[in-house]
A and B are shown apart, each in its own frame.
Chain A
Amino acid sequence: MTSPSSPSSPPSPPSPPDKSTATPDALGGGPRRRPRPVRRGGGRGAPLPLLLPALIGLAFLIVPLIALLVRTPWRSLPEQLTSAEVWQALQLSLICATAATGVSLVIGVPLAWLLARVEFPGRGLVRALVTLPLVLPPVVGGVALLMALGRGGIVGQWLDDWFGITLPFTTAGVIVAEAFVAMPFLVISVEGTLRAADPRYEEAATTLGASRFTAFRRVTLPLIAPGIAAGAVLAWARALGEFGATITFAGNFPGRTQTMPLAVYLALQSDPEAAIALSLVLLAVSIAVLAGLRDRWMTAG
């Protein structure tokens, strides 16, 4: 906003009379046509009714983060961060978010491929259903998961009867809840990349004797790797911050299902300093994710 007009535009010298000014028409229009000094740097030209809300918006997003830094108990921070509970929660969060991302990759990438490459009736509806968890309140997702995979759920009761598998209120349940909320990010990202990728590379591979799966594995997958990576990072970040579905479906047991966001929420009521310290860790992770994405985008471009 403070940038002066660009140095590459020197004050325009009075244009020397050229052939066109010889005609009376051009003479009359001459002075008006002289190029005005170009004004660069949008800040100076931005009208107040736009600039003011924009600055308020910026402050709105940044001030809370600054407040977090200002109120951080820096002196007791090392102690806070090395406490057993924090480590437990952080470890659990990282493991579950990574596992949820892994689950999303294994079933989400093929789903994205199906949506992008195979024509089938009702594809639009399926795509809408896939993206529903993006806008669904996570708590509702948690309730829905309970109805499906809970002990008495429509699928869960069979899991329990046949395999003795119980998901709710277990670490596996955390992974399921996080994957449910995070996978749509991955699917959307990968599907977009797949749509942009030329399907004729797959055709070229089949003319060389590759089955459709081989073509996908050896040609398409490497081609869309950047999109998969971006989607995985988004999904991972979403899973790491997941709260509503997790607490609904998996509960809040320290060491088993209490992830960082749950720990933050709980700590805020008993030990605000601990909550701030935990929040700081999550903020750091988020910034790291953003930096990682930016690096990838820069090298991809």
Chain B
Amino acid sequence: MSESHNAAAAPGSPGSEEGLDARLLVERGTFRLDVALRVAPGEVVALLGPNGAGKTTALRALAGLTPLSGGHMRLDGAELDRTPTESRPVGVVFQDYLLFPHLTALDNVAFGPRCHGATKAEARVRAAEWLDRMGLAEHAGAKPRRLSGGQAQRVALARALATGPRLLLLDEPLAALDARTRLEVRAQLRRHLADFEAVAVLVTHDPLDAMVLADRLVVVEDGRIVQEGGPSHIARHPRTDYIAQLVGLNLYQGRADGHTVRLDAGPHITTTEALTGPVFVAFPPSAVTLHRDRPTGSSARNLWHGRVTGLETHGDQIRADLTGELPLAADLTTVAAAELDLHPGSEVWATVKATQTHAYPV
């Protein structure tokens, strides 16, 4: 992470190195976070990962709320490693928003400009503009507890943006909302993020939020980056079980020899792609067909025997979890599940067409 062109950023030449360039090293007890991030202005990056992966720690480190044990942080060419939080050009939308309960929506938004030296009147004018932009003009006088979840979220966003930050940080921005509000607020947030011209980093454990809101995903597990890329790329090429589960794919690792992939666990899978060497193979649960008896006339090249360990409804489908030669998840219609008389412990045969599998190099 020490590219030579960093040195070229001469003082007084703004624009020579725009955006965020950070390597965040935080050590706390046995937990170790080591994440490198480069984000261009106008780009929205989502840190995606399970709980306890270190996403929020990374966000807090960027905000200066958690000190770095090592690494560096540069924003638009300026070193921020040792800059205290209040002097960083950073705006934060906290998970539960943390709107000051004793201040009105307007004064919450005006708080930042006030701290940056604006007079009370100027700060209020600016705050009113932001609330107006968020469609909250008529709620300016409301205390936070009178706001709905979606409104509070927009006030929090307005408050974070009102100081004109060069780095916008959002911690689980939609986690506090119910499902219906979430849909609406997600769309609004996406619009506001698209308008934001500086760097935006958001943290979420919800793959849908990440994929809708971000231009690029950085998947963090156990304090390390395990995969990064565009949402559609990650959705099609998961590299860890966690991501595969998030995007709803069966994922296996093995060694390819032409169209056959021999899995580390034993069985092999026939794929359309002809590859050699270590590969991942993925297929969606909907590509699996289950049979009660060994199918004879099936054209499917992939046939495995297994036993049902669990059944649960998944949208309007039934998801069956199988153990056996190849542990996998299969989706089938409720009708099909009834016809097969599936229950935990049922012995079944699973087939997957080669055309529905997808293999890619490790």
Residues of A within 8 A of B (CB): 198, 200-201, 203-212, 214, 218-219, 222-223
User: A200 to chain B: which residues have CB within 8 Å?
Assistant: 94, 98
Given contacts A219-B100, A223-B101, contact A204 B94 (CB under 8 A): yes
B interface, over-half SS: mixed
A205 and B111 contact, CB distance less than 8 A: yes
A204 and B92 contact, CB distance less than 8 A: yes
A208 and B112 contact, CB distance less than 8 A: yes
Most buried by B among A207, A209, A218: A207
B102 close to chain A: CB less than 8 A: yes
B98 and A210 contact, CB distance less than 8 A: no
Which chain A residue has the least Cβ–Cβ distance from B165?
Answer: A207
Query: How many angstroms between the C-alpha atoms of A219 and B101 in the bound complex?
Result: 9
B63 close to chain A: CB less than 8 A: yes
Given contacts A204-B98, A219-B100, contact A211 B111 (CB under 8 A): no
A209 and B65 contact, CB distance less than 8 A: no
Q: Please, how many residues of chain B have a CB less than 8 angstroms from a CB on the other chain?
A: 22
Q: A203-B65, A208-B86, A209-B115 are in contact. List 20 more A-B contacts (CB 8 A).
A: A200-B98, A204-B92, A204-B94, A204-B100, A205-B111, A206-B85, A206-B86, A207-B63, A207-B65, A207-B85, A207-B86, A207-B88, A208-B91, A208-B111, A208-B115, A209-B112, A212-B86, A214-B115, A222-B102, A223-B100
User: A203 to chain B: which residues have CB within 8 Å?
Assistant: 65, 85, 98
B163 and A208 contact, CB distance less than 8 A: yes
Among A198, A210, A223, point to the contact of B111 (Cβ < 8 A): A210
Q: How far is the CB of B324 from chain A (nearest CB, A)?
A: 42
User: B102 to chain A: which residues have CB within 8 Å?
Assistant: 222-223
Query: How many angstroms between the C-alpha atoms of A212 and B84 in the bound complex?
Result: 10
User: A219 to chain B: which residues have CB within 8 Å?
Assistant: 100
B115 and A201 contact, CB distance less than 8 A: no
A210 and B115 contact, CB distance less than 8 A: yes
B92 and A207 contact, CB distance less than 8 A: yes
Q: How far is the CB of A213 from chain B (nearest CB, A)?
A: 10
Can you offer 22 A-B residue contacts whose CB atoms are under 8 A? A201-B98, A203-B85, A204-B92, A204-B98, A206-B65, A206-B86, A207-B85, A207-B86, A207-B92, A208-B86, A208-B91, A208-B115, A208-B160, A208-B163, A209-B112, A209-B163, A210-B115, A214-B115, A219-B100, A222-B100, A223-B101, A223-B102
B329 close to chain A: CB less than 8 A: no
Q: Which chain B residues in 78-136 approach chain A with CB under 8 Å?
A: 84-88, 90-92, 94, 98, 100-102, 111-112, 115-116
